[in-house]
Amino acid sequence: MRTIQFKSRLLAILACVLCTLGASAYSFYVDGIYYYITGPNTVEVTNKAYRQASYSGDVVVPPTVTYNDVTYTVTAIGDDAFYWSTSMTSIQLPNTIKIIHYCAFDNCSGLTEIVIPDSVTIIEHSAFNGCDNLTSVTLPEGLLRIGDNAFCNCEFTSITLPESLTYLGAEVFWWCIKLKSIRIPKNVTHIGKALLMGCEYLSYIDVDSENPVYDSRDSCNAIIETATNKLIAGSSLTVIPEGITEIGEGAFTYRRELESIHIPNSVKYIRNEAFRSCYRLADVNIPDSLLTIGNQAFQGCKMTSVVMPNTVTSMGYQAFQDCSSLETVVLSENLTSIPGDAFRSCAKLKDVIIPRSVTYIGYGAFEWCRSIKSMLIPNTVTNISRCVFIWDNYMTELVVEEGNPVYDSRDNCNAIIETATNKLINGLSCSVIPNSVDTIGEQAFYVCQDMYSIDIPNSVKYIERMAFDACFDLETVNFGDSLDCIEEYAFGQCSQLKDVTFGRLLRTLMNNAFSHCSGLETITLQDSVKFIGKNAFSSSKLLTSVTCKALTPPEMGESVFHADALANATLYVPMRTIEDYRNADGWKDFAQIEGIYLPVDANADGRINVSDINAMLNLMLGGEEITDPVYDMNCDGTVNVTDVMMMINYIMSMTE
């Protein structure tokens, strides 16, 4: 007990200390500026509290400041010092500042210009990130380092880098959309990845001819890493020289004015995001020397066709995503995988032949490829992810080649089935589920447009989460009698469903199983149901009738039914257990509960027919008293010929 009390007191003290540190990030405050003592006679500019906007208007930082009779030299702008001081319109820095720290002027959107004093040697990570009205920056001779993201989202059209500069971090000028030109000085020996990513209108790049690490050979209008022949940054006017072996990460990302480019036969690697979002890039070749296409390498480009040489062995995820003009693709016969979202949203893509070298197809690889009519999965493909064909509502043929050891398309079902488990993993709006399928897999029919009805055969026992989620046109589902469990969101957003009658063996409806099925009017649950998860029908406020035939009220989670449904719908339950429902959690919330008489499956064959009448008569003629209340259809406390007559009337009504 004492140990617990001691720990509690210790945590309380620690919380107080942390609150004190958070509330006061400065040592003293003089003439409108907060300072933090860094040495016996040195301070840095800071803010009132952690990441609290502390400055506005015109700010002048003095070279020295006196506090308690001690004079301090101002040597740095501290981390987050002017963070989000959006009302600050100008800043004057003294010639005593040596370093501008992390996020020092982050999102100072009121700044339009700044002159960095000659004393500054280092500008750290994100120092001027988000200064989206900063149109003029003067950098001093003597500056050595500019950190990652230092000038992200700034507005200048050009910037002069000093000859003293040796280090440029990653994404220093990321999304400086108005930057048109830049020159790399001779002493820069390190440039981080994606230096100029997002500089949409960049048209001129040059490297000093005396630089030992980088060059712009042949006036190529690009930055090339000399020793590796890697092009690390290009412009809309770049001409890629012969001999280049690699196009680096983000080298041409968001070059809005780039319309065509020739990639020479020396290039082996096109790295991640190399040409991402070059929206006008329509004319580009894939060279015969190429081995690898990186993640998002051509995402959002405008080419109409891609011919991939057989030298290519790997392609990254989203490599050609959002290429909305792409119509034809010829894949390398040595490509081993088609990764996730590789051709997602290529709405005009019509013709794709998957080569036999491919063993893997990733999640959403052909999502929203609405012009593909048919697809043959070779027998070499042994790993297929979910949602490969989401939104592909015009596809009419999906076939797994005979001899595939893992998958099949039995009975011309137009679906992909995992053979060993009998699980259907990818389907189309035109699929017919075979009567040998055991499970409908997660997201198997996710966003299948133009699917108006589906038959769930008697073989299916499980429908996994989101299997039919967002099938917005689905009006009718015929559930087989073997179905045992419907998982989360299995029929989520199926807003056209009106009437749902579940099979006789269904035991479990998981949370949100029919979430956002706003059009549901009637629900019929059989006597097998044991559990209904929370929010299962919580969006179905138009319900007028809910029938539950279970003699014992099924367990319910929270908010299974919408409040309007509880108020307006009638709950029909077995007459003999109506009071149980009126007292059961969840069920008792229905304003209207009525009893119904249920037929008896007297011979336990799973069907209600004339054979059940014979079975009841045989029981009665056997001479023994029948005490099982299941046979007491009219709930009068005895089993007799009246109950048999009710069975006869019920069966006759079924045949009308």
The residue among 146, 200, 202, 143 whose CA lies nearest residue 172 is: 146
Q: What is the DSSP letter of 613?
A: H
User: What whole-number distance in Å separates Cα of residue 373 and Cα of residue 371?
Assistant: 6
Q: What is the DSSP letter of 630?
A: G
Q: CB under 8 Å to 314, separation ≥6 — which residues?
A: 291, 292, 293, 335, 336, 337
User: What whole-number distance in Å separates Cα of residue 576 and Cα of residue 20?
Assistant: 67
- The structure tokens listed for 189 are 């020996």
Task: Give 213: exposed, middle or buried? Use CB within 10 Å, 0-12, 13-18, 19+.
Answer: middle
User: What whole-number distance in Å separates Cα of residue 630 and Cα of residue 652?
Assistant: 20
Q: What is the DSSP letter of 181?
A: E
User: What whole-number distance in Å separates Cα of residue 71 and Cα of residue 494?
Assistant: 72
Helix (H, G, I), strand (E, B) or coil at 371: coil
User: What whole-number distance in Å separates Cα of residue 306 and Cα of residue 287?
Assistant: 11
User: What whole-number distance in Å separates Cα of residue 656 and Cα of residue 654?
Assistant: 6
User: What whole-number distance in Å separates Cα of residue 126 and Cα of residue 103?
Assistant: 5
Q: What angle do CA 151, 154, 159 make, to 5 degrees?
A: 70
Q: How far is CA 67 from the centre of its chain?
A: 53
Q: What angle do CA 484, 489, 492 make, to 5 degrees?
A: 115
Helix (H, G, I), strand (E, B) or coil at 22: helix
CA dihedral sign, ordered 279, 280, 282, 287: negative
User: What whole-number distance in Å separates Cα of residue 557 and Cα of residue 396?
Assistant: 40
Intervals of the chain under pLDDT 70: 1-24, 392-393, 600-607, 623-625, 627-630, 632, 634-637, 650, 653-656
Q: Give the CATH H-level superfamily of domain 498-596.
A: Ribonuclease Inhibitor (3.80.10.10)
Q: Which helix (H) or strand (E) holds 43?
A: strand 42-46
Q: What is the 3-state secondary structure (H, E, C) of 68-119?
A: CCEEEEEEEECCCCCCCCCCEEEEECCCCCCEECCCCCCCCCCCCEEECCCC
Helix (H, G, I), strand (E, B) or coil at 481: coil
Partners of 508 in the β-ladder:
485, 531
pLDDT value, residue 614: 79
Q: DSSP H helical segments within 192-249, as ranges?
A: none
Q: What is the DSSP letter of 8?
A: H
pLDDT value, residue 519: 97
The residue among 137, 142, 180 whose CA lies nearest residue 160 is: 137
User: What whole-number distance in Å separates Cα of residue 541 and Cα of residue 539?
Assistant: 6
pTM of the model: 0.85
Q: Which helix (H) or strand (E) holds 167?
A: strand 167-168
End-to-end CA distance of the chain: 75
Residue spans per domain, the chain: 498-596, 610-655
Is there a contact between 422 and 441 (Cβ–Cβ < 8 Å)?
Answer: no
Which string of DSSP letters, residue by residue, matches 351-370? Answer: EE---TT--EE-TTTTTT-T
Query: 395 to each of 20, 30, 368, 370, 516, how far by Cα in Å?
Result: 63, 71, 11, 7, 27
- The structure tokens listed for 419 are 């053979």
Task: Give 104: exposed, middle or buried? Use CB within 10 Å, 0-12, 13-18, 19+.
Answer: buried
